[in-house]
Structure 1
Amino acid sequence: MMLLKKYFIWSLALSIFAFGCEDDRDLVVAQLGDAPVIISPEAGLSVDITEDNLSDEFATISWTPADFGFAAAVNYKVEIDVAGNSFAEAVELGSSMSDDVSVINSKVNNIMVAKGLPGGEFTDMEIRVRASASDELDELISAAITVGVSPVAVEIDYPKLQVPGSYQGWDVENEATVIYSANSDGTFDGYLYIGEDGAEHKFADGPSWDVNWGDTGADGTLDADGDNIVLGNAGVYRFSVDINTLTHSSLRTDWGIIGDATPGGWDNDTDMTYDQGTGLWTVDIDLEGGKFVKFRVNDGWDLDLGDNDTDGKMEYGGADIPVAESGNYTVTLDLTNAIYTYTLTKN
């Protein structure tokens, strides 16, 4: 009897083990293999971009397939950044589900000019390929190649996103109601005056309604042909959109100037006035020389602008702006273009 019982227990255990092994045969285990390797162009490519060749091909960037350990649909993204920057400010050149992306000179030129790189001088740029098969798996990233590029100083035609709505007659072709992608990377940012309470709007890849987004459910996620997005009280709104992740946000803004050069110091803003005609924020204010100012929204530090390079071009969270000498100034903040600027004009 004892022998029979032992035999039964071992048979049951073997059956469970065999059943488990049979189930395991249905599982796919991902074992990450080789990252893509850039085949073309060769490292050391040198491209002198001029006004005459902006529409020419910069390069067809091709690579070997990434190996994720199983048959997978792989999305490849090609990125570029200044050499030595570790791709901290990488900009996407293109994406593909195959093994190459064709890039024209104007695309690279716009990226370099937007980064403030000098025209007519060669700068080393790095290119890499990122491969992704699933949100659950790590990316496979190629080794970078270095190319030399001399951009030409031209006015950049920044990518635009239309913001048609009830506040402007739902005019999807209106070039005055657009926001820009300053880095040409699918993220858009801009400020528009909304002259009515409870205005409704959408975003569109204009100037047509063929590709447009709303927000069904008002959850901050964009939906193709989704519901109208509803705003609050009239005023100047900051619109932020990321087409890559299909997310958006909006904020009603009032701007002020703050700093130890101002009468309120670093504790109290001096409010600026918005002009609907020009789209500019201005204020006349006494400033103290040898000290600093910044601009911020809604009397708080959630959103502020400074100037990292003291070149009149502004960055979110940028450096404090020096005031050269004491006096009465007209201060202007211009948020109407892709690059935000300011002036301090002594009266």
Structure 2
Amino acid sequence: MKTIKYLALLLITLISFNACESDDSITYIAQPTGDLTFTNAFLEEYILIPSASSNIGERFTWSDADFDIQTNINYELQKSIIGDFTDTEVIGTTTDNSYAVTIGDLLSYAEEAGLDSDDATEMSDTGNVYFRVRAILGTDATLEIISETQALNLKLINGGETVEETFKNLFFVGDATAPGWSENNNNPALIRHSDNENLFSYKGYFVSGGEGFKLLEQLGQWQPQWGAGAGENEAAVNDGSGEDPSAFTIAADGYYEFTINTEEMTYSLVDYDASAAATYTTIGILGDATAGGWDADADMTQSTFDQHIWNINGVELADGELKFRADDAWDVSWGSANALSGFADIDGANIPVTAGTYNIWFNDLDGGYILIPVE
């Protein structure tokens, strides 16, 4: 009887062992689920200016691909001239959810598509180039999700046409800044670097105790909205198709230097010592581009929030030049050879101006200035 019991116990043990072996051999197979879609807003027409070849033509962004498993996902941005992707070219690979192409890239694609801006030829100056994004699970190219096709309507400019280049502007909003959480309250503008239109800087005073601050591209509109991303020193943007980013936070009241690169999606925020900075009673603009010429200053308004920030709104300027100067005298003046924005030097060159109506911001801490055309 004992022998039968021992045999039965041995049989149960063997069955249990085999069951464990069977469980260990179960393999989970990933399966693509859901759609992969572009999330950026596309223009009706992309006007390609050769002189702006280094500028970003379009930043493609897309949703997360879902393979129902936690693993690395690689993305390919693909191009097709024909449109059916039998001529597929991978123009970029990334593990992120975005990829930027320059105006120079788009000009190259337009040339591939046979577009020609010469009026003497029969070739069209306008046409479509097609894009899609492909998601691949890890290194397994057999598991993929492909987005729908997106056409970009490209237009070349011939020698007889002139197109005014437009630049992105960024404005502060938030309880750490002068306008508070109002999106249209004479919000101070960041200074766009003259040698890199994607790089913006600002030295100034911020207050703590609240949520912090964000950046807006258009006054009166909450998107596009820039803020802090998930990673350290990572910037994020809601172009209107996603969720708003987190605010940049201020640890203590004081002066800071803030810089953001909208192409590289990075930012820095560091303490700035303004204790030895000079202060001025008035700062104005003057020059042959202004109504008063080189004889009379048009005084700017000093910020009550930060004594180093000055602005003047709705000023009409003529073709010509201008400078900034303090206290209606030439003892301290600022100038630069760069139009529209940059960092002026003490006793620097005259700033070139194209006729128009502008809102102007000036920072006497670093000579930062920006002329924003008023539409």
Bigger radius of gyration: 2
Please give the TM-score of this superposition, normalised by the length of structure 1: 0.38
Please give the TM-score of this superposition, normalised by the length of structure 2: 0.35
